[in-house]
Amino acid sequence: MTPKVILLVEDNPDDEELALLAFRKSNLANEVVVARDGREALDYLFAEGAHAARDPADLPQLVLLDLKLPRVGGLDVLHRVRGAAATRRLPVVILTSSREEEDVMRGYDLGANSYVRKPVDFGQFVTAVQQLQMYWLVLNEPPAGRP
């Protein structure tokens, strides 16, 4: 069985590299696909644009979604994901540096499964990634018909 995909939606190259390094350090077996803006994330999830050849039924096991993204913001991505029958139950964890209470509230109102603030310290970031990995990829029981 091939490992399930994690979609990391992150526009900051430093944060992307930190996340990928944290995944490697925690021996993450899942493939990580990176979308660098909200439009690219939507194209991947709905098999559109550059990802039109991808099977739209083959969804990632988890989406790690930044909020402050170019082209299409993270909350707009979440709104579209929750509005489509095929992706409505897809686990979406907001992983952001935003400390704005309004972002937290809107994220949950739009159906985020969790809201995690990115730690500044690399060691804490690795720990956060390991905890996300353990919960969402090992312990969490997805609904029937979902990977």
- For residue range 23-58, what is the model confidence (pLDDT) as tens digits? 887 777 778 999 999 999 999 999 999 999 999 888
pLDDT 10s digits, 71-95? 999 999 999 999 999 999 999 999 8
Count of structural domains, the chain: 1
pLDDT the model gives residue 35: 97
- Please report whether residue 21 resides in a domain: yes
Residue 75 lies in a domain: yes
Is 44 domain-assigned? yes
Mean pLDDT of 91-110: 91
Q: Is residue 18 one of the residues assigned to a domain?
A: yes
What are the residues whose beta carbons fall under 8 Å from the beta carbon of 145, sequence distance 6 or more? none
Domain carrying residue 55: 5-139
Query: Quick one: average pLDDT of 89-104?
Result: 90
Identify whether 144 is part of a domain.
no
Q: Which of 142, 128, 138 is nearest to 64 (CA)?
A: 128
Inside any domain, residue 34: yes
Residue 146 lies in a domain: no
CB 30 within 8 A of CB 5: yes
Q: What CATH number does the domain containing 122 carry?
A: 3.40.50.2300
